[in-house]
Structure 1
């Protein structure tokens, strides 16, 4: 029998919990420009949801002569500096996180940002929001590979099929779907098409644990009764 609630919720960070994509784009633009190159909005959008090492190689191709690790550290430091000035919470994210925690469900943060950035964001939430963190420096394969979400479920001690994952990007949603989690796309910077493989919520604002449970039960009922 399918449970009426998931065992855990797996959360992407950038673009889902915090609106940091403009911070990343600003950091990328300044870095490329410092090496005499140009970086436009479409190029920045192409990196949304991608792993940091992949992004670093793209920036190297644009003329940045730093190593991959140096590029990642430079970008991360810039984003962290901007977050310390203003935390751009996404609408409804903290409210849903709070309700999920109050209900006793487990949560994990699954981000391709470095752990230092993930821990900074978590430290700025006024309650213990997460039981585990999976960061970009914790995995061998970044999103869209399923490893990050599978690792999140493993750390929580739950079956990935008993989890719901929230994502705002195409690579992230592909990772969540491939892992076997019930996946909800919350589009932000990049459009996400409708699909039978995932559910689309235009926003987290006004969404509750009841809405989340409805998606989970519907997905698992469909899976069990094709």
Structure 2
């Protein structure tokens, strides 16, 4: 295992419920509530994708000008919600620290723009990561592979020997397209697992529990998972 690349929202921090609040509010402001199924279409995607889904749902033409206006609103609203509700599991921090002390380089690759991602990165301990890449820092966000290809390059690793943890269908697809070894952390049975991904539940024999299983894991367990997956890939 050359390196580990982590998604952030829903993987290292349980922030998807916070994003849900803001996304449902955005949809209401645009004129029509989102269904749970429509909300699924926004998970793991860029703000542009979220805005397009919400605007189209409300029969509003998603122009660039409107997107910029509502992006400013989202930045402000998410800042408020993160300040009130963001929580980082102590188990996740301990796991990251143990990997860092073992000398395994790590990166974060998140579709979240830097201005919104920074509070969570600070809470996790950004110094633990060799690099962090945010959605507004690459030409194409997930599900394009750009972010993971850039992370592998910055870490000086090879894609197949880089382990990725992802919770969303979009993110899993991006990591697979980059050629990485991918472990999925679907929040529940309704999350579509991308082809080429093994879930943490399959590796541990536990039901889907998002990042809860990860928070209780150790570096030795992660190394074992990677070895099993790479052996299966040949």
The separation in 2 between residues aligned to 1:219 and 1:35, in whole angstroms, is: 44
The structure whose residues are more often helix, as a share, is 2
> Which digits, 9 at most, give the CA deviation of each residue in 1:51-76, with x for residues without a partner?
22122212222346762233233223
Q: 2:46 aligns with which of 48, 51, 54?
A: 51
Computed over aligned residues only, the root mean square deviation of the Cα atoms, in angstroms, reads 2.3
Contact persistence 2:169–2:193 (CA under 8 A): no
> Which digits, 9 at most, give the CA deviation of each residue in 1:42-96, with x for residues without a partner?
2212211122212221222234676223323322332222111232335842232
Contact persistence 1:10–1:165 (CA under 8 A): yes
The separation in 2 between residues aligned to 1:133 and 1:139, in whole angstroms, is: 12
Q: Which residue number corresponds to residue 60 of structure 1?
A: 55
So what's the TM-score if we normalise by structure 1? 0.86
Structure 2: tracts of 5 or more residues without a match: 201-207
Q: Which residue number corresponds to residue 3 of structure 1?
A: none
So what's the TM-score if we normalise by structure 2? 0.84
Q: How many residues align?
A: 219
Contact persistence 2:111–2:134 (CA under 8 A): yes
Contact persistence 1:185–1:199 (CA under 8 A): yes
> Which digits, 9 at most, give the CA deviation of each residue in 1:126-167, with x for residues without a partner?
572211111111122221221111111112222222210000
Aligned pairs (5 A) from 1:44-123: 44-63=39-58, 67-89=66-88, 92-123=91-122
Aligned pairs (5 A) from 1:1-226: 6-63=1-58, 67-89=66-88, 92-126=91-125, 128-188=127-187, 191-192=190-191, 197-201=196-200, 202=208, 203-224=213-234
The separation in 1 between residues aligned to 2:99 and 2:216, in whole angstroms, is: 14
Structure 1: tracts of 5 or more residues without a match: 1-5
> Which digits, 9 at most, give the CA deviation of each residue in 1:176-216, with x for residues without a partner?
11111110111115645678822211421321111111122
User: Relative to structure 1, is the Cα distance of residues 77 and 130 closer, same or farther in structure 2, using a 3 angstrom cutoff?
Assistant: farther
The separation in 2 between residues aligned to 1:141 and 1:102, in whole angstroms, is: 32
Contact persistence 2:8–2:108 (CA under 8 A): yes
